[in-house]
Each structure stands twice: as C-alpha cells, then as structure tokens.
Structure 1
C-alpha cells in the first residue's frame, strides 16, 4: 500500500457553540477537543502524515500542540474561506507518494481505530467510502415557509460522518473539477459522487459525534468517561 495521509479539517469558527473560543479548542477532559482527534490518528501506525488545516490565526497555537503533545506526524497549515477550500489546501500539503487519504472533522474525537480501518478498507476496495449511521428519526422535507413537502423513506436515509476515505488521485481530481466548475459541495463525497464514482457507506456508531452545539459538550464528556476513555490514555 502507498502512503496513507489524513487531512483534519478544523478551520471553522463554530458560531453555533455560542462561545468566544472556537469549538475545536474547548477543553474535553484534560485536553482540547482537537488534541483528542489528532492523537487518535497520530497513534495509528499505518498513518504516514497528518495535515491539520486551521484558521490562519490559529496555526501558531496548533504548532504549540504539535510540540507539547509529541504529534510528530502533524503539519499545520492555514485553511481557506470554506471547508472545501481547506480540504484542497490540505491535499496540497500531503507527502509525496500518498496513495490514500482520510478526511476527518477536527471536532469528531470519538471515532474508533476499527471504524477508521473498516472505512479505509472499503475505499481500497472501491475507491471511496464514508462512515455513516442509519437515521433514527423520521425526516421531513420542508419548504421555506416551514411546510412539510414530503417524507422520505427512513430506511434509505443515513447520517454521514467522517472519516471519509478516498484514493488520493480520485479526491484530487474531484476537487480540481469542482474548482473548474465553481461547484461547492457539503462534503468531499459529494464532489466524488458528481464525477459518477460510487461512494460506499460503512456503518459506524452513534458515539462518533460532531461536537457542534453546547448540548454536545456534556454528552461528549460522558462518552469520554464511559465509552471511549480507555482508548484515549
């Protein structure tokens, strides 16, 4: 297998958290949320390099994390205006010879190594794969006036998580085409899908939360203490 690179996206300001500090730098247990995420991938032997994409004002802070926590695989770079721009900048900083790439949210500190490997294995088989979980709630399509328009079959709906795993050349091409077409997607899988490539879903679990709003913080603390704690020591 060629080199495995990871792009950690953490350039967002996190306005939904309602705090002065961006959500990825808030404390979870004894460390910032982002450090938990970085350590997870640092500790995966098969990962060759990690590009952490953050706001330009936060690069020096994250360089400090790299030094303080011994994150030898991590390179910190400044992100772009949108998440998609940040991923593209991350791609540009992966080591030469990187054949496979995982894209992961900086505020998802609870994915397991097993889930990472399952997602990667499916991508190596099929070219592209994403972690996801079946939707629990009934979902309604609603118009701008908050009127229900339709109710999709819940059995066909999955909530997409990260990491998302791709052959490096495939994701690179997808981003280049998006730039050419001035297309902005909501995740990297969407850019690959629009090329006609099938993206496969790998079932994860409901603990792999994206810490986004204040309600997520006590839930995250509980997961850390009761479910994922042993894996984070």
Structure 2
C-alpha cells in the first residue's frame, strides 16, 4: 500500500511579519521545512513526498531538498490560492496514485515518528486519522463575541493538528472539483463522509504550529531543551547536509 506525504509549505504567517512564510524560517540549525522532511525521509511508512510551495519559493525548496539529502521527494508543486486548490494540483500532477495520503503542515516542525506511524496505521484501517491533542481544561464556546453559549466537558475537546492521513479514495472525494461548499482551512477531516471514520491519534502539546513570534520562541526553547521526540527532531541526531 503506497503512502505519499504532501507537505503544505506555502502559507504566510502575517502574525510573525508581513509576507513571512514560516516553512522557510530558520529553526535550530536548518530551515523549518527541513525538520518535517527529515522525519518523512527516515520513516518506513512513507514512500514518496511532494512539497507544495509558493511560486517564489520553488528554487529555495529545491536547494533544501538537495542540501539535506531528501531522496523521497518526487516533486515540488506551486500551491494554489487555498489549501483545497493546492491538493487538487498535486493530484493532477502525480503519475501514479498512492493508496494512502499524508497531509502535513511544514509549520509544525515537531512531528514525531511515533505519531506519524500511528496515524498512517489508523488511516489504513478507518479511512482517516488525524494527529490531535486532547485539551485537559473545560472549553467555552462563544460563537458570537465574548458571550458564552456552551461549555464542553474537560477531556472531551481535541485540537486538530497534522499529520492528517487519508485513504486516497477518501481524500479524492473531498477535493473533487464537483464537490460544492467545501472550504478547507487546515482540517480536511471535517468533510469525511459517513462511509469512513475519523480516528484521532494523541500527538501531544509539543506538536505546535508556528503562527506568531511567540510560537517561534516556544519552538526554539523546545529545540534548546531537547524536548522533541528523539526519533525525529532531537538536535543530538545528525542529518546529512549540515
């Protein structure tokens, strides 16, 4: 069962600075995108990788691939106006369709081998699996302004993260151009039909997304404290191209 990973690396994080693409910021001693590429490169679960970047970053992406010896990368695709169009573009360009697709954001550099393997395993069984973190506190729901409309019990609410893994047949239904009313921001699993099940995999609070300067500071602290998964991102491990 061939598994292809798609790394979304074309989003701009305006909270860091206008026009900033977090995937190409330096984290530790390498570009942020290289951390995720390294995990996928070492994973026995992943057969191929496609990078989705902005038009301006194609050459930078190619240089990262070469510098860090990412042999599983089979293509660099220019992203569309949104995540949905980017995924459609990837599927329109691949020659051999995989059985399983991993979608991961480059702005989440602390993906671990353990979580990656478990999400792939569960997606093969259920149709879809997403990395997520269970919130230990009660969650207030306030759809309009600051007025609380509902309170969720503690340990019942989860924060959806990536990787998100799908059987290719499931993901294709979501991104099909004929599908109406779908607007994907960062959670495709919302649109899984009743024939499949979304299974969550606990990924921990360290699987953060770099959106703002404060997040970048936290990520740097995690790197310095060596709190990341030893199998994936620990600074103690070598990586070709340093």
Return the TM-score normalized by structure 1: 0.90
Higher mean Cα deviation, 115-124 or 150-159?
150-159
Change over 3 Å in CA distance of 1:190–1:143 after alignment to 2:
closer
Change over 3 Å in CA distance of 1:49–1:94 after alignment to 2:
farther
SS of residue in 2 equivalent to 1:16: coil
Higher mean Cα deviation, 26-35 or 139-148?
139-148
CA–CA distance in structure 2, aligned partners of residues 118 and 95 of structure 1: 27
SS of residue in 2 equivalent to 1:37: helix
Higher mean Cα deviation, 20-29 or 105-114?
20-29
CA–CA distance in structure 1, aligned partners of residues 228 and 147 of structure 2: 40
| Residues 63-111 of structure 1: per-residue CA shift (max 9 Å, x gap) | 1111221112222110011122222223334451411111111111111
Equivalent residue, structure 1, for 2:50: 51
CA–CA distance in structure 1, aligned partners of residues 167 and 143 of structure 2: 37
| Residues 158-190 of structure 1: per-residue CA shift (max 9 Å, x gap) | 11111111111111122116x531421331111
Equivalent residue, structure 1, for 2:7: 8
Equivalent residue, structure 1, for 2:78: 78
CA–CA distance in structure 2, aligned partners of residues 97 and 148 of structure 1: 46
SS of residue in 2 equivalent to 1:98: coil
The answer to whether 1:170 aligns with 2:170 is yes
Change over 3 Å in CA distance of 1:181–1:125 after alignment to 2:
same
Counterpart contact for 1:11–1:86, Cα < 8 Å: no
SS of residue in 1 equivalent to 2:189: helix
Counterpart contact for 2:45–2:120, Cα < 8 Å: no
CA–CA distance in structure 2, aligned partners of residues 211 and 100 of structure 1: 26
SS of residue in 2 equivalent to 1:14: coil
Return the TM-score normalized by structure 2: 0.87
Higher helix share: 1
Counterpart contact for 1:49–1:95, Cα < 8 Å: no
5+ long unaligned stretches in structure 2: 238-242
CA-based RMSD: 1.9
Change over 3 Å in CA distance of 1:46–1:143 after alignment to 2:
closer
> What are the equivalent positions in structure 2 for 1:147-162 lying under 5 Å apart?
147-162=147-162
CA–CA distance in structure 2, aligned partners of residues 62 and 210 of structure 1: 20
